[in-house]
Structure 1
């Protein structure tokens, strides 16, 4: 089964997407299952994981409503106020939904880069572990130290780094470090996985396989094919590419792997990680 491990649905009229403004042009409209379906069919993708795009429980419930009606949705990664005293009970409630598979706190947007290393989050994180839920880490290289502390403190939490930690690809060689060192450090922890997603958005316009090849190779060298999972990051991807282009590019960049390794990256790893 082919799985897109990272895509979004949203409706700006809901009013809780602080980052989603009219200035983003083509992204500032509703995106739902009917918009994605033709791309899934053409790419041969069977199921998807919807990931939150607003830091509200209301949006999480909105995504779960979609998931109940849409067979192609295998799982939902939602948002929970992890520092809230009521977070454990909220996590327990959401975990009763069969397609609720994890949480994402949007670390890249928080004013404190070290927020995730706060020991006060422990009750919520212990609840994630108790309910066998995953944790998506939306980070840049500057968050590596804090995420490393978090992952070491909670070795039972399944963590996936979204979008390869967003390497500054458009900066070329000048942006390689400290991203590359950060990836190596995180990959040394066995509970951390990584998404092969979002790279096109970090590249300059007109990117090609050659542009992304060093970054994909570095992720493969450190996480290996057993801890990487492909995701489209659609419809954000539309800012600098399209579904079929990125899908074909990713396939080409892992073409030297075995059939089993490619199957893992394009489906089996996401299925196992998210308990789909």
Structure 2
């Protein structure tokens, strides 16, 4: 049984998502009810909601929305990874206002802002505060930005980090070497974990198991079975596959692992990292 550490829900009647207008395939409501039907059929027992880069003023609304869903009888939702703006002077007040019964972690998408945002003293100071609160910080960067991830981690040695989407490899033959080296370098920081989450969305539409295998195996080889977690990245994964196809792909890619390794990857590590 898996814990999905990366589910996005879209509720356009109560939350604004400025970026969705540029991605027509995703620009609709994505409900927990629809997700839950498939999730229960494919072996998902618990879910963390991942912030959807909503309008900044709507971040508290997004957390409240997930909190409401968590209170429903037999809800699979275990908590939310909230958006935040560590580059803002108001971030400390925001962090103090969080409902930690709902919020289990923090993310700031870094590939939608200038590279120097994560390099400021204020940003790093606030990420250190996030760590002191016991909240992990998800790193969402593109392959070319993995060196920035290393710099951020080095500046915040007491914060637990989770790298999203295997570092978003660019899936080109001549790019694998640079990506692999960057992943290996980042994995040397023992406070960093890696999330194998819906990477089919970043490959070409004609991807196969063998397209993804070297990336998944390299991440696991670098981080080890005790520092990797699984995520669907639903509904983004639907751009090139489906939720059940991604789960089937995952089972194939980890088929040779031991039962203890599979359990660590599927759920045990997530429970530890996010205190579930």
- Ranges in structure 1 where 5+ consecutive residues have no aligned partner: none
Which structure 1 residue ranges, 4+ long, deviate > 6 Å from structure 2? none
**Aligned counterparts, 1:39-54, within 5 A:** 39-54=38-53
What displacement does 1:10 show? Answer: 1.1
Residue 147 (structure 2) aligns with: 145
Which string of whole-angstrom CA distances, capped at 9 and with x for unpartnered residues, describes residues 29-61 of structure 1? 111211101111111101111111125252343
Residue 79 (structure 1) aligns with: 83
**Aligned counterparts, 1:4-15, within 5 A:** 4-14=4-14
Query: How many residue pairs align between the two structures?
Result: 271
Contact 2:143 2:170 (C-alpha < 8 Å) held by counterparts: no
Q: TM-score, normalised by structure 1?
A: 0.92
Q: Aligned equivalents of 1:161 and 1:114: distance in 2?
A: 18
What displacement does 1:86 show? Answer: 2.3
Q: Aligned equivalents of 1:64 and 1:195: distance in 2?
A: 25
Contact 2:117 2:123 (C-alpha < 8 Å) held by counterparts: no
- Ranges in structure 2 where 5+ consecutive residues have no aligned partner: none
**Aligned counterparts, 1:167-186, within 5 A:** 167-169=169-171, 171=172, 173-186=173-186
3-state DSSP class of the match of 2:126?
Answer: helix
What displacement does 1:243 show? Answer: 0.8
What displacement does 1:201 show? Answer: 0.6
Residue 98 (structure 1) aligns with: 101
Contact 1:39 1:244 (C-alpha < 8 Å) held by counterparts: yes
CA RMSD of aligned residues (A): 1.7
Residue 259 (structure 1) aligns with: 259
Q: Aligned equivalents of 1:97 and 1:39: distance in 2?
A: 28
3-state DSSP class of the match of 2:20?
Answer: coil
Q: Aligned equivalents of 1:240 and 1:115: distance in 2?
A: 31
Which string of whole-angstrom CA distances, capped at 9 and with x for unpartnered residues, describes residues 41-94 of structure 1? 111101111111125252343243223333211121111121222211211211
